[in-house]
Structure 1
Amino acid sequence: MGLPLLAVAAGLALPATALADECSLLTDGGSFATNAQLLDYAEQLEEFGPRPTGSAAHTEYIDWLEDEISAVPGITTSELSYEIDRWDSGTTSLTVGSTSLPVAGAVPFTAATPSGGARAEYVYLPSGTNITAANSAGKIVVRDLPWNNAPYLLFYPPLLGWSVYDPGLTINMLGSDSTEILAQAGVDAAAARTAGAAAVLMVSQLPHSQIAGTYAPYEGLPIGVPAAFLGVDEGTALKAAIARGGATGTFVSEVRWTPARTRTVLATLRGGSDRKIVVTSHTDGMNPVWDNGPLSILAQARYLASLPIECRPKTIQFAFTTAHLYQHLTGPDRREGGAGQYAAQLDREYDEGRVAAVIVLEHLGARRYDAVGRGGSLPGKQLVADRSLNELLLLPVTDSNAMRSLVRARIEARDVRRTAMVKGLSAADLATVPHHCSFGGEGTPYVQHLLPTISPIAAPKMLFTPQFGVEALDIDLMRRATLAFTDVVLGLGPMSQSDIAGDFTFMRDQRARGARTCV
């Protein structure tokens, strides 16, 4: 699948500028951060706790990252600052008649209930039933969160795939993976607001212990109706009460909006030219898997800074972006987060010859969790770690055969297994530049701005909850992946810009001539 592997030992055989004789395009693992050091980083990240955008914990994490990377010789730092209205959730509670049921947490950016809570009749509306004024006005709506199946075949050529590295043959091409669709909570809450409902309760198939504190969706815009998540046991009990008839109760959700400041930190390591390779990740998240990219960046920065400047033909800029969990950072008309703001800046700099490529690091080393039946008479599912497998790493790379071949070579050489390199994570539209408008996560704004982009991302089922810690990380795999993408930085250093850009040179010209874009 894909193109033949390049000769790694021969410096990848790519068009290049000359490097000093002592320079290598391969990272020296003996001089790189160890598993123990990466584990220390991950444990430090876990100690910060959940990090919603602009929260105290998020601010402390950014400050810590800035201190760590500022201590790297040769690094200079700057920042991009933003003012937001931070959303915080307080007490939540629920009663059905005289019975109390635990609440897993408010849906982010939803409204507070009135003083004393919202007291109303409960109504259960199964999936497929529209929320309307006729069935919901003045009531507390109960809905199930749906699950979505993604066929693995999508990630193989000739569909979205470019190549797959699965030497153990662990991926069933004819199988699929399923994930609970938390974004439905935002859709249903918006419909409930229009219908005049008093509140919405979204019922998960997972138990309270695994979804408490779930943080999604994260648009950063007020939804305007109180809403919360319930675990499967509480949801089952509530739906049974409704089925018996006349179920009423009180739902309490305390939330507040507070002016706050949040920032993106940029750390620059000078190279032999002003054209820069950008390595970036977001800093807000719920657990050590969601936003562990900055930890890999710290390890990369220390290693790359130890090399002589002759071995860094291009400048390297490390970016710790903010507002991944506050996507409408600059208002209701644009969904972009801090990454989108930064991507727009890089887009302008690219035209000035100051940007080479962007590498976005997320979810490296994520262990696989399967949703399995709970056994006995318990309803729903539970997430169970599969210690023999890591989560499938999806790896979108923009339209450059040279860059895709480099990435594939390094992924396979470092044995970052269960990796599917893809052309994008949305259907191709040949009338749009780029042809794939989504890279599935933090990489999306960069590709939409037609920047050559490499953006690994996994989709663990436990990504959005703080109930999982460092045990959800395979630290050895995280290190191998970090080494692979450090190799990629080194490989991009001497590569010509025409090879890095590939078809994006033509697409940027098309955009300048008025072609339809994704942004």
Structure 2
Amino acid sequence: MNKSLAGLPDRATIAGWQAYMNQLGPRLTGTAAHQRFIEFLREQITAIGYQVETDRHYFQKWEAEQANLHLLAADGTEQEIRVASIYPYSGMTSSQGIEGELVYCGKGKGSYKHARGKIAVVEVAVWPLPTTLLMKQRAVFPDDAKLSFFLQNPVLQSFLGVPDLKKATEAGALAVIGIWRNISTANARDQYLPFGNDYQGLPGVWVDREAREALLEGISKKKRARLTLSASLQEQAASETIYAVVPGKTDKEVILVNTHTDGPNGIEENGGLGMLAMMHFLRNQAEKPERTMLFVFVTGHFQLEQFGLNHRQATSRWLRDHPELWEGKEGHARAVAGLTLEHLGCMEWSDNRDKTDFLPTGRIAPELVYTANKELAALYLQALQGRKKVRTVLLRPRNRIYFGEGQPLFQEGIPTVSLIPGPDYLCTAPDHAEADKIDGELMYEQIETFAKLMMELDKTSVDKIGKVEPESFGIW
């Protein structure tokens, strides 16, 4: 076993934190499980001697319980259609459900001109996208860690085109059924997508490729279906962002470290556990850091329409609310660098060639890391040295795309380093938390890397940290 970086909690401690988070189950924004995780972080931070500050936010919270879908034959028989997952923040039905004739409404976002009084069915194919359209590669480590030419991922597809429930509502549809295509049944199961929209007011569910034939046959025979979707809707639900300051020898300059706390599984989002370990590390050092360290754990990543400002990530709200802690104006502290930790320990799983199964590849999921300039890329590569498990791809933001909670820091001109792996299972919400896809040693090494980088940045001058480079544009 590798020797731990002096001052970090040991592997067993961090594994215990991860196991606790896993057993909470999905921690979607503002739910009881999410609040328990926030309380866990608060208690842990307080126990090591740092003061925790809280921002309480209020929002409209939708929470699903279960959904059932049946095809109804003229002779009174019913055929159950397995629901792969519930469309987040879609809607709800009574306990008796809603019944209506099925109608085909196309692909992607759907076309609902014939959907009035019917249950709309929309197909969504997950097609490969050119990687260079979304990402600009800076560097890789080791040499075989290059990005693939195409990305094929249900999370990406959820941003590009899934059933538009508000348009379906305007057209008078009773409900919407989305059919995942071009991914396996196992890959489609439990996908919590699209994850950022606000309440839509129309029941919606997802089914997998195995349900497609039965639904299309039902449409051809003008069959009716019954959808039951149990959910609750709460106005003015509360959720909390917490943050803590680790004092340095100066409070004029800060290094801002952030993540979000809400998420559907064990890797989305476990970045807070890495930040907690980094705070332990700082507490165990003989001297204060040169600069003040600011740790921000935001809520609302899975409700961006309600928490993010102007369609940005949830950290944008915290930045707006606390300029005195980072913006560097009018005597305020200045954030000289930003570190974002998300999705620690991800192993790669992929559909097989004919999309009949979802299997481990035996490789680390590509460790995608945005760096705001070449200087930070070099510092990150330096911090990687000694890693046993590594498959790093350093990125430059491209075409106004910067995934994850590092985005608002970058947009505000803070030089950033942001870890943001994106496996296919990133947004699934299963009971088992995708625990079998988390590699504890990889997670530990990633935390060590960021602890090393934090300390290196602490002793690096502002000039050598550099400024934010403009993002790249293009497709190559």
State which drifts further: 260-269 or 99-108: 99-108
**Deviation, structure 1 residue 37:** 2.5
The 2-side partners of 1:51 and 1:299 are apart by: 20
**Deviation, structure 1 residue 455:** 0.8
SS of 1:307's equivalent in the other structure is coil
The 1-side partners of 2:404 and 2:108 are apart by: 28
**Deviation, structure 1 residue 187:** 4.5
Task: Rate the CA distance shift 1:154–1:185 in 2: closer, same or farther, 3 A.
Answer: closer
The 1-side partners of 2:84 and 2:216 are apart by: 16
| CA displacement 1:160-185 (0-9 Å, x = unmatched) | 12111134x25475x42311223467
State which drifts further: 486-495 or 437-446: 437-446
* 2:225 maps to 1:249: yes
2:88 is matched with which residue?
Answer: 108
Choose from 346, 356, 360 the match for 2:336.
356
Note the aligned Cα RMSD (angstroms): 2.6
The 2-side partners of 1:54 and 1:249 are apart by: 33
2:63 is matched with which residue?
Answer: 88
* 2:103 maps to 1:123: yes
The 1-side partners of 2:172 and 2:227 are apart by: 16
SS of 2:249's equivalent in the other structure is coil
| CA displacement 1:35-78 (0-9 Å, x = unmatched) | 332222211110110011000000000001111111113x2211
| CA displacement 1:245-270 (0-9 Å, x = unmatched) | 21212112232211321111112211
* 2:437 maps to 1:472: yes
Matches within 5 A, 1:112-151: 112-113=92-93, 116-127=96-107, 130-133=110-113, 135-151=114-130
State which drifts further: 114-123 or 27-36: 27-36
| Residues 129, 152 of structure 2: 8 Å contact kept | yes
2:243 is matched with which residue?
Answer: 266
Structure 1, unaligned stretches of length 5 or more? 1-26, 375-379, 428-436, 508-519
| CA displacement 1:389-419 (0-9 Å, x = unmatched) | 11112111113x3322111211244355221
Task: Rate the CA distance shift 1:104–1:246 in 2: closer, same or farther, 3 A.
Answer: same
The 1-side partners of 2:177 and 2:233 are apart by: 21
1:307 is matched with which residue?
Answer: 285
**Deviation, structure 1 residue 212:** 4.5
The 1-side partners of 2:82 and 2:184 are apart by: 11
1:33 is matched with which residue?
Answer: 9
**Deviation, structure 1 residue 342:** 1.6
* 2:368 maps to 1:391: no
SS of 2:243's equivalent in the other structure is strand
2:138 is matched with which residue?
Answer: 162
Structure 2 counterpart of 1:57, which letter? A
**Deviation, structure 1 residue 460:** 0.6
Structure 1 counterpart of 2:366, which letter? L
| CA displacement 1:417-445 (0-9 Å, x = unmatched) | 22111111x32xxxxxxxxx332122112
Structure 2 counterpart of 1:446, which letter? L
SS of 1:192's equivalent in the other structure is helix
**Deviation, structure 1 residue 283:** 0.6
2:150 is matched with which residue?
Answer: 176
Task: Rate the CA distance shift 1:373–1:422 in 2: closer, same or farther, 3 A.
Answer: closer
The 2-side partners of 1:382 and 1:446 are apart by: 39
| CA displacement 1:249-306 (0-9 Å, x = unmatched) | 2112232211321111112211111121111111111111111101111111111111
The 1-side partners of 2:150 and 2:388 are apart by: 23
**Deviation, structure 1 residue 484:** 0.8
The 2-side partners of 1:439 and 1:260 are apart by: 29
Matches within 5 A, 1:379-458: 380-387=355-362, 389-399=363-373, 401-415=374-388, 417-424=390-397, 426-427=398-399, 437-458=400-421
| Residues 361, 455 of structure 1: 8 Å contact kept | yes
Structure 2 counterpart of 1:361, which letter? L
Structure 2, unaligned stretches of length 5 or more? 73-77, 471-476
The 2-side partners of 1:498 and 1:441 are apart by: 26
| Residues 215, 286 of structure 1: 8 Å contact kept | yes
**Deviation, structure 1 residue 339:** 1.2
Structure 2 counterpart of 1:32, which letter? L
| Residues 347, 450 of structure 1: 8 Å contact kept | no
**Deviation, structure 1 residue 143:** 1.6
1:223 is matched with which residue?
Answer: 200
**Deviation, structure 1 residue 492:** 0.8
TM-score by length of 2: 0.87
**Deviation, structure 1 residue 106:** 2.2
Q: How many residues align?
A: 452
| Residues 347, 449 of structure 1: 8 Å contact kept | no
| CA displacement 1:360-384 (0-9 Å, x = unmatched) | 100122000111257xxxxx54321
Task: Rate the CA distance shift 1:128–1:316 in 2: closer, same or farther, 3 A.
Answer: closer
Task: Rate the CA distance shift 1:346–1:438 in 2: closer, same or farther, 3 A.
Answer: farther
Choose from 328, 335, 357 the match for 2:305.
328
SS of 1:43's equivalent in the other structure is helix
